[in-house]
Amino acid sequence: MKKVFVKNINNYERFRTGISSVETRGATEASLMLVTGPAGFGKSQTVDQWAISNGAAYLRAKVEWTPRYFMTELAETLKLDSRGRAKDVFGRIAGVLGSQQIPLVIDEVEHCLRDGAQVLEAIRDLSDLTEVIVILVGMDQVQAKIARHAQISSRIAKVVEFYPASLDDVGEFCKQLSEVTIAPDLVTEIHRQSGGRVREIMNAIATVEQTAKRNGNTDAKLQDMSGMVLTHDWQARRPRVVAQQKGNR
């Protein structure tokens, strides 16, 4: 399978529009953007790619994070000295973020809400001081949890929700990622089985590609996968099998 980033067209456009909204905000302190949605819809991949393209500092929050632990990781990401008093580390971080206007991305932001959201408060302090864009990424329930902290939620300029990939999106994934040509009927089946979850789409493409290559084919149709496992239902713990196709050879 090809190693390229494929934009989930509808979600990517919402994300890009959200970034523009934060960049043109009226209140300078409202520099936070929240990206939410169920697991598997491509949030992390999209935001990670944006971070790479825009020179942002990207951190994946951890359950064990404290404000100091967070600042230590951020300082190390920025290649700064993480030793000394928390106040001094904060100052070094703020100086670099503010002077260079480096955006900040915090994935799995749910882990920042423990102990009265102390870590998220530290992130808010940084955004208030530097006015850099901060992108918070979390599951769909995180918005309601953040809303309990008015001093933080009031600084969220935009909320972008990610949705399942459309049939056209799945077609693009198949076209750009697969090393074999995947027929429209099989694209439709991948879309149906995956429910538009990017992880499952990619796993299905890999399965189709491996099957086609094993059979010496450069293309794959729905009939070629008849009776075979295409994806897995991890919640029900059972494979999803392509229905037997008439005329299967």
Q: What is the pLDDT of residues 71-124, one digit of tens each?
A: 999 999 999 999 999 999 999 999 999 999 999 999 999 999 989 999 999 999
CA distance 27 to 83: 34
The answer to whether the beta carbons of residues 157 and 17 sit under 8 Å apart is: no
Q: Quickly state the pLDDT bin for 5 (edges 50, 70, 90).
A: confident
Q: Quickly state the pLDDT bin for 245 (edges 50, 70, 90).
A: confident
Secondary structure class of 32 (helix, strand, coil):
strand
CA distance 183 to 201: 15
Tens-digit pLDDT profile for residues 172-223: 999 999 999 999 999 999 999 999 999 899 999 999 999 999 999 999 999 9
Secondary structure class of 136 (helix, strand, coil):
strand
CA distance 81 to 77: 10
In terms of Cα–Cα distance, which of 215, 216, 193, 46 is closest to 205?
A: 193
Q: Is the pLDDT of residue 166 over 70?
A: yes
In terms of Cα–Cα distance, which of 43, 2, 41, 12 is closest to 165?
A: 41
- Alpha-carbon distance values, 205 to 26, 107, 113, 233 (Å): 44, 26, 36, 16
Tens-digit pLDDT profile for residues 219-236: 999 999 998 888 887 666
Locate the DSSP E strands across the chain.
Answer: 32-36, 57-60, 104-107, 134-138, 156-161, 181-182, 219-220, 229-233, 238-241
Model-level pTM?
0.86
Delineate the domains of the chain, giving CATH numbers in brackets. Answer: 9-161 (3.40.50.300), 167-241 (1.10.8)
The mean of the pLDDT values for the chain is 91
Q: Is the pLDDT of residue 26 over 70?
A: no
Q: Is the pLDDT of residue 249 over 60?
A: no
CA distance 42 to 137: 11
The answer to whether the beta carbons of residues 39 and 139 sit under 8 Å apart is: yes
CA angle 100, 102, 107 (to 5 degrees): 165
Between 140 and 209, residue with greater pLDDT: 209
Tens-digit pLDDT profile for residues 14-23: 999 999 988 8
